[in-house]
């Protein structure tokens, strides 16, 4: 199945070690994150998205912005790059779901608190699990703050031809791999996106099991 082969390729990339290589690579595709001096920018990352937020926060800082960063993880053991994000932030707020490090709870709680402070927040960039980006966007909507999210739907060919990564933004169909990944979080049809991400749960499970079997037999 095409989906299982894509999953196999993705896991191969994820397990490459320093010095290892692949035969070829196409990209980057899509639209770069827009960087300018907005003023005060809140960068919100959840889990794996810290690796995406750090270079964005750094570029925004170099452009003259005040950076307030909020990092969220399930537990202390999963935290990485705290020092890197701290180094490019004027303020860093840490949260863990279980309270094992920083504040206990989800990132939307300190996000709302920052938005309620005196002084204007000019932009929020939220990147992480879909549910986290959805509720970050819902949190900022009443404050009228521009909110950018980086979507991560299922992708197959990554060139816009297959249409698997399509999302509805502002009532129009967009392809995340070429039109995104950054979109206005207040315009994304989150319910549709989350439903589509559950389409291949069984295939994802089978692909993972097959990969684990092949890996253990090496």
- Locus of tokens 């990209």: 27
Do 133 and 118 have their domain in common?
Answer: yes
Question: If pLDDT is split at 50, 70 and 90, which confidence band does 26 have?
Answer: confident
Do 101 and 161 have their domain in common?
Answer: no
Do 134 and 62 have their domain in common?
Answer: yes
Residue 106 CA to residue 99 CA, distance in Å, equals: 10
Position 24 scores a pLDDT of 75
Answer yes or no: is 7 within a domain: no
Question: In the predicted model, what is the mean pLDDT of residues 107-133?
Answer: 96
Other residues' Cβ atoms within 10 Å of the Cβ of residue 120? 10
Answer yes or no: is 69 within a domain: yes
Comparing CA positions, the residue from 179, 195, 194, 181 lying closest to residue 152 is: 181
Do 69 and 136 have their domain in common?
Answer: yes
Specify the number of domains making up the chain.
2
Contact between 44 and 140 under an 8 Å Cβ cutoff? The reply is no
* Residue range of the domain that includes 47: 39-150
Question: If pLDDT is split at 50, 70 and 90, which confidence band does 217 have?
Answer: low
Do 130 and 155 have their domain in common?
Answer: no
Do 89 and 46 have their domain in common?
Answer: yes
pLDDT greater than 60 at residue 5: no
Q: How far is CA 167 from CA 161, 175, 204, in A?
A: 14, 6, 20
Do 166 and 146 have their domain in common?
Answer: no
DSSP-derived pairing of the beta strands 40-46 and 66-73: parallel
Do 156 and 118 have their domain in common?
Answer: no
CATH classification of the domain holding 63: 3.40.50.80
75's tokens: 């537990």
pLDDT in tens, 142-181: 999 999 999 988 887 778 888 888 999 999 999 999 999 9
Do 56 and 136 have their domain in common?
Answer: yes
Do 140 and 43 have their domain in common?
Answer: yes
């Amino acid at each position: 199945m095409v989906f299982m082969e894509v999953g196999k390729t993705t896991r191969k990339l994820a397990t490459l070690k320093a010095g290892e290589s692949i035969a070829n690579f196409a990209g980057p595709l899509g639209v770069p994150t827009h960087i300018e001096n907005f003023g005060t920018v809140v960068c919100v990352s959840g889990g794996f998205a810290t690796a995406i937020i750090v270079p964005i926060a750094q570029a925004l800082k170099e452009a003259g912005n005040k950076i307030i960063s909020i990092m969220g993880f399930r537990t202390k053991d999963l935290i990485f790059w705290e020092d890197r994000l701290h180094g490019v932030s004027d303020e860093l707020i840490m949260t863990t779901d279980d309270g094992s490090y920083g504040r206990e709870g989800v990132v939307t709680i300190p996000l709302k608190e920052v938005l309620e402070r005196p002084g204007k927040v000019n932009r929020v960039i939220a990147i992480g699990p879909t549910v986290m980006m959805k509720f970050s966007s819902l949190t900022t909507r009443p404050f009228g703050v521009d909110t950018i999210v980086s979507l991560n739907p299922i992708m197959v060919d990554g060139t816009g031809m297959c249409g698997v990564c399509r999302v509805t933004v502002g009532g129009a169909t967009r392809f995340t791999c070429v039109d995104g990944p950054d979109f206005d979080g207040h315009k994304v049809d989150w319910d549709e996106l989350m439903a589509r991400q559950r389409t291949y749960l069984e295939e994802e499970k089978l692909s993972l099991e097959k990969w684990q079997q092949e890996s253990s037999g090496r």
